[in-house]
Amino acid sequence: MLVEKELCSLLIQNPEKGLEKIMDQYMAFVYTIVYGKLSSICNKQDIEECVSDIFYEIYRARNIIDLEKGSLKSYLAVLSKRTAIDV
């Protein structure tokens, strides 16, 4: 398991590989948050699409993620909650 600084560095240097590693490490965490928010109003495909959108946003924001302001896990938690609410 890579530490968050290594994950963010890999995401910048090799975006596809970095995203793959972040997804391996945090997919269940993100899915749990989204499922908790959407399971009563959305079907499984909508939930999976929301999770995909979250990881796409991580990919897009790879150059602006600042671990000095908080951890990657907390960034993912907030992003997951906000994205699910927007759905």
Contact 1, 9 (CB under 8 A): no
Q: In the structure encoding, which two tokens stand for residue 66, read together? A: 């600042």
User: Half-sphere exposure (CA, 13 Å, Cβ side) for 16?
Assistant: 0
pLDDT confidence bin for 59, thresholds 50/70/90: very high
Q: How many CB atoms lie within 10 A of CB 6?
A: 12
Mean pLDDT of all residues belonging to the chain:
92
Q: Which domain holds residue 32?
A: 4-86
Closest listed residue to residue 58, CA positions, set 38, 28, 80, 35: 80
pLDDT digit string, tens, across residues 20-57: 999 999 999 999 999 999 999 999 999 999 999 999 99
What is the tally of structural domains in the chain? 1
Contact 54, 76 (CB under 8 A): yes
Q: Can you give the pLDDT at residue 31?
A: 97
Q: Can you give the pLDDT at residue 1?
A: 55
- The answer on pLDDT for 4 being more than 70 is yes
Q: Can you give the pLDDT at residue 37?
A: 94
For CA atoms 22, 26, 41, 85, give the dihedral sign: negative
User: In this structure, what CATH number is given to the domain that contains residue 53?
Assistant: 1.10.1740.10
